[in-house]
Amino acid sequence: METVERNKAIDEWWSKRKARYNIGLIFAGIIAFILYVILGSTLLAPYDKQFEITLFSIFFQGIGYLIMIVIANLFYQLGPYVDKQNNVRNSEKYRQRLFKLGFWCSFALPFLIPILVIIKYLVDYS
C-alpha cells in the first residue's frame, strides 16, 4: 500500500509542474524562432536566395513545433517513471533536479535551429 501512495504522490508532483514545462516550451519556441528570423535574415539571406520567411513557412514551422511539443510531453512522462525507479529514498531534491534537467534540456532544444543557422553561415559564407 505504501508504494501505491508513493507512486500517486510522485505522479501528482509531476502533473503539477507540467503546465510550467509547457509554458517554457512555448516561450523557448517563440524566442528561438525570433532568433532564427533575425540570424537567417542577417546572415543567410544576403547569400542564399532560397532563404525566405513567408506566412506559409511560419505556419508550417508552427505546426511542426506543436508536434514537437507533443513529443516533448511524451518524454516528460519519463520523469515520473525515472523518479519511481531510481529515487529509492523518495528525495525531493532528486525529484527537483530531475525536473530541472529535463526542463532545461527541453528548453534549450529549439535553440539548435538558430545555432545551425550560424554554423551554416560560418561554413558556407564566411
**pLDDT tens-digit profile of 65-110?**
999 999 999 999 999 999 999 999 999 999 999 999 999 999 999 9
Q: Kindly tell me the burial class for residue 15, based on how many C-beta atoms sit within 10 Å of its own C-beta (0-12, 13-18, 19 or more).
A: exposed
Over residues 31-35, mean pLDDT: 97
Sole residue written with cell 553561415: 121
* Residue 39 CA to its chain's centroid (Å): 20
pLDDT number for residue 1: 54
Instruction: State the Cα–Cα distance between residues 34 and 23, nearest whole angstrom.
Output: 17
The pLDDT value given to residue 2: 82
Average of pLDDT values for 19-40? 97
Whether 37 and 53 have beta carbons less than 8 Å apart is answered as yes
74, burial (CB in 10 Å: exposed 0-12, middle 13-18, buried 19+):
exposed
Query: Which positions ≥6 away from 107 have C-beta within 8 Å?
Result: 24, 25, 27, 28
The whole-number pLDDT of residue 126 equals 85
DSSP class of 110: G
